[in-house]
Amino acid sequence: MNLIFKNAVIVDKNSPYNMQAKDIQVENGIIKKIDTVINDVGYEVISLNNLHISTGWFDSSVNFGEPGYEDRETIANGLDVAAKSGFTDVALQPTANPVADKQADIAFLVNKAQHTATALHPIGALTKESAGKDLAELYDMKNAGAIAFGDYNKPLADANLMKIALQYVQDFDGLVIAFSQDEKIKGKGVVHEGIVSTRLGLKGIPALAEELQIARNLYLLEYTGGKLHIPTISTARSVQLIKEAKQKGLTVTCSVAVHNLLLTDDVLEEFDSRYKVAPPLRTKAERKALVDGVLDGTIDIITTDHYPVDIENKKLEFDLAKDGTLGFESAFGALMKMLPLEVIVDKLTAAGPVFGFAGNTITEGVNASFTLFNPGGNWTFSRRDILSKSKNSAFLGQELTGRAYGIYNRDKLILNTAK
């Protein structure tokens, strides 16, 4: 595929062309030339309004439904939605049925996505069936293509098993993902414990439930060494604990979900289960601390934590509804409401190095892996903007700024022509 991207503003802090408008010539997946004007004879020209290009965005936490829950989302459609939302790479959580806890499960996922524009990188379950009792086949899954190991939204109660996992994966440079929530303190809580939960009569989840588990896991990491990733943190104290751990020299990274950066528990007034997520939406003060953590570098990654849920499991009484929200389609537009563009690009591309992939840049002679987007223009996110099979988006009705056009990756161009 021979293309020229016309008059594209390059957003890449590692590129000599950062924040400059250039033509980019690509031949068979390689950047051949970058210049102010390039003769486009014989090339397919990609010319889009206010076109900006960055290195490809990497989402560190996504869920599909295949195998087992294809009614929620298939791998093929999920990756197509990811591409049209600007993501060249996604890390897939082991939440299908069966849980991806064996070499064959990882091989199935890798094979399903061999020829897609968006690259799929499976996360293997840390414990068998994500049940928290015995370690899964970590080394075998690593050899099959698993990039990390974790039980999605399930904390590991057994501290000794977490210690053993952190020690064991060091033999093959593995990464442990530790969702942090003390289930005993959470109890039957469904939303953040505070003024809103009290007023609405909903059982609360104290911030302490997350913070205690993070503190424990960081102590274990300090004892064992190795690498730990703490996903989707949601409290100010969590940010501080991780900041202090990094200052000690521990190899720890963390992420925050887009919805926890943008929304607070104030949206719960209508008992709308679209806002039931894990960890829960918290207060304005907690949200501000998360934004500050992104800006000061404590939080490494911003993730969509994309989780399609079928209507039978979502449109229920709030207490009974399944946690989770869609995230792909609204992610960029939501982030542009609160963060500078270069920070957004930095945090959406940071997952690659965390998971062991070399960073890319936009310069001549390298493989072309781009996200195409327009950072300008306000619009309201509606149901027709949802490309996923499920429709459980917490961002419906939100005014957003900017849109992703799509991606160029693996010598494939995918654009969202519905825009």
Please give the full DSSP string across 46-91, using - where no structure is assigned: E--TT-EEEEPEEEEEE---TTT-TTT--HHHHHHHHHHTTEEEEE
C-alpha to C-alpha distance for 153 and 218, rounded to whole angstroms: 18
**Edge-to-edge strand list for the sheet holding 87-92:** 57-62, 87-92, 119-124, 148-149, 176-177, 228-230, 252-257, 301-303
C-alpha to C-alpha distance for 128 and 137, rounded to whole angstroms: 8
For Cα atoms 70, 145, 362, give the angle at the middle one, nearest 5 degrees.
Answer: 95
292 annotated active-site: no
Contact 176, 228 (CB under 8 A): yes
Contact 136, 174 (CB under 8 A): no
Coil, helix or strand for 92? strand
C-alpha to C-alpha distance for 350 and 56, rounded to whole angstroms: 10
Contact 354, 299 (CB under 8 A): no
Residues 6+ apart with CB under 8 A from 74: 64, 65, 66, 389
Q: Which of 59, 151, 305, 385 is catalytic?
A: 305
CA distance to 179, 252, 276, 387, 390, per residue, from 231 (Å): 6, 11, 17, 25, 23
C-alpha to C-alpha distance for 279 and 232, rounded to whole angstroms: 7
Write out the catalytic residue numbers: 305
